[in-house]
């Protein structure tokens, strides 16, 4: 009798209605903002038609993945991995170029960006890997194995080149490994590698902004490391020599630091330097300008810093209640570029005001909270890890997109899922959230 009561209760609660409400609220707010901000765009009719088609497809995908047993993804993880690699290779050969990136595949009635679904598949693949290594998750090899699985996909996305999508893989990796119980030291190693890989190109850009700095010898040599030549090889040699010198110094000082730490630090620094040079060669001029605009917006207020400045004006002018839909001067008069894609949150701040912006943030925080709650009640470790990955990418997207609109982080070209315009992003996000909803619906073993 108790079992029957529990089963009836579980059947009534198979759908997380708070999650559904937050999704519906975000899609509704995003649709209103897109209708308003894109109304002055020449191809407004086609754009809106594509948005509603993507929303309809996304709803179908959400319902499909809601009813599809998520554990099948674990059984077919190898197939998913091969499919992801083939898909990313295919876009490099057969994809079309937009905004300097070969990242889209054109079909007769729609355009698809494979990197969107590749990121979701990577979560499913990594969750399977970490679940199967549950007894050895503390091994350093687990961390490097997870990175090795994701690295080919990241490299193919970077080759497009899509630096923003590649960037989102790092927090996803770290969060999933941390939630799996990976060794903290190994996570610090991975974080150090990522910091060097991403930090050095930004440092090179910063130095390039100040030519007077380059008259100083060490800085001049630092700039020369960007080329594949003898300065780079000397850099590798200096890293190895520095690691050996510090190890000998620790031995002479009779410290308790294990020699393996110096070996690992040397390897991480060398690998990070090599990866940083590769990333530096992939960065486009407009991507560097985004970083320049973040550091010194007054240098080029009509160029690289224009988008952020206009977004800040739009949000600040909205006041408490906003100017009203279709009444925002920054969006309607075209002062705010990318107003229906990357900077749609600025449109919401201007036209819906502080209350509208807070409402969108509340919907988003509720969505992330429900994903985290789904991880807590998941019936197995695989579902738990999948939810951890989902929470990381959507939490990261929220922080970066809103942060760049208010000038707190560099412009990264990362849309606000469910809100920004983008057919692939909207459809894939709803599909991914359907997987999360399925994990919630199967939280009891007998369902």
Q: Check residue 39 and give its pLDDT.
A: 72
pLDDT tens figures, 201-212: 877 777 777 677
- Going by pLDDT thresholds of 50, 70 and 90, the confidence category of residue 4 is very low
Instruction: Convert 72-114 into a string of H (helix), E (strand) and C (coil).
Output: HHHHCHHHHHHHHHHHHHHHHHHCEEECCEEEEEECCCCEECH
| Domain range list for the chain | 28-65+297-447
Angle at 375 between CA 371 and CA 380, to 5 degrees: 145
Cα 275 from Cα 270, distance rounded (Å)? 9
Cα 51 from Cα 71, distance rounded (Å)? 31
pLDDT tens figures, 377-401: 998 899 999 999 999 999 999 998 8
Among the residues of 256-318, which ranges form H helices? 259-282, 285-295, 306-317
Q: What are phi and psi of 209, to 5 degrees?
A: -70, -20
Strand-strand pairing, 96-98 and 101-106: antiparallel
Distance of CA 208 to the CA centre of its chain: 27
Nearest to 404 by CA among 415, 420, 418: 415
pLDDT tens figures, 295-336: 666 555 555 567 777 777 778 887 888 887 777 777 666 667
- Cβ burial of 108 (10 Å; 0-12, 13-18, 19+) is exposed
Q: What are phi and psi of 441, to 5 degrees?
A: -70, -20
Residue 179 predicted with pLDDT over 70: yes
pLDDT tens figures, 20-59: 999 999 999 988 888 887 777 777 777 788 888 888 999 9
Cα 208 from Cα 301, distance rounded (Å)? 18
Task: For the chain, state the CA radius of gyration.
Answer: 24
Identity of the highest mean pLDDT range in 99-108, 174-183, 364-373? 364-373
Cα 282 from Cα 115, distance rounded (Å)? 17
């Amino acid at each position: 009798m108790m079992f029957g009561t529990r089963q009836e209760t579980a059947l009534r609660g198979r759908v997380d209605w708070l999650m559904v409400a937050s999704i519906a609220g975000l899609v509704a707010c995003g649709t209103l903002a897109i209708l308003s901000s894109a109304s002055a765009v020449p191809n407004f009719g086609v754009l809106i038609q594509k948005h509603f088609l993507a929303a309809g497809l996304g709803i179908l995908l959400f319902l499909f993945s809601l009813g599809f047993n998520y554990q099948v993804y674990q059984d077919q993880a190898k197939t998913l991995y091969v499919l992801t690699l083939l898909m990313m290779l295919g876009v490099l050969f057969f994809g079309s170029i937009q905004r300097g990136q070969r990242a889209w595949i054109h079909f007769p009635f729609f355009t698809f960006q494979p990197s969107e679904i590749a990121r979701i598949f990577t979560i499913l693949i990594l969750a399977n890997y970490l679940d199967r290594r549950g007894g050895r998750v503390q091994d350093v090899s687990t961390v490097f194995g997870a990175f090795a699985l994701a690295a080919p996909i990241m490299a193919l996305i970077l080759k497009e080149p899509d630096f923003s999508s590649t960037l989102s893989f790092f927090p996803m990796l770290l969060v999933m490994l941390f939630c799996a119980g990976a060794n903290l030291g190994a996570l610090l190693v991975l974080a150090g590698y990522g910091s060097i890989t991403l930090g050095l190109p930004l440092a090179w850009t910063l130095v390039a902004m100040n030519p007077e700095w380059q008259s100083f010898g060490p800085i001049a040599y630092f700039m020369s490391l960007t080329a594949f030549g003898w300065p780079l090889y000397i850099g590798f040699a200096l890293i190895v020599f520095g690691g050996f010198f510090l190890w000998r110094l620790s031995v002479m000082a009779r410290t308790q630091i294990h020699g393996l730490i110096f070996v690992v630090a040397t390897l991480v620094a060398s690998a990070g330097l090599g990866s940083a040079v590769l990333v530096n060669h992939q960065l486009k001029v407009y991507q560097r300008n985004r970083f320049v605009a973040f550091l010194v917006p007054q240098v080029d207020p009509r160029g690289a810093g224009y988008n952020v400045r206009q977004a800040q004006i739009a949000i600040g002018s909205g006041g408490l209640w906003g100017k009203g839909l279709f009444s925002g001067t920054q969006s309607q008069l075209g002062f705010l570029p990318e107003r229906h894609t990357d900077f749609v949150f600025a449109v919401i701040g201007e036209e819906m005001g502080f209350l509208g912006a807070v409402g969108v943030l509340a919907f988003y925080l509720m969505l992330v909270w429900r994903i985290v709650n789904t991880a807590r009640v998941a019936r197995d470790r695989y579902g738990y890890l999948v939810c951890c990955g989902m929470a990381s990418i959507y939490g990261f997207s929220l922080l970066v997109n809103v942060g760049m609109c208010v000038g707190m982080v560099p412009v990264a070209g990362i849309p606000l899922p469910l809100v920004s315009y983008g057919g692939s992003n909207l459809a894939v996000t709803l599909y991914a959230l359907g997987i999360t909803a399925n994990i919630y619906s199967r939280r009891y073993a007998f369902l």
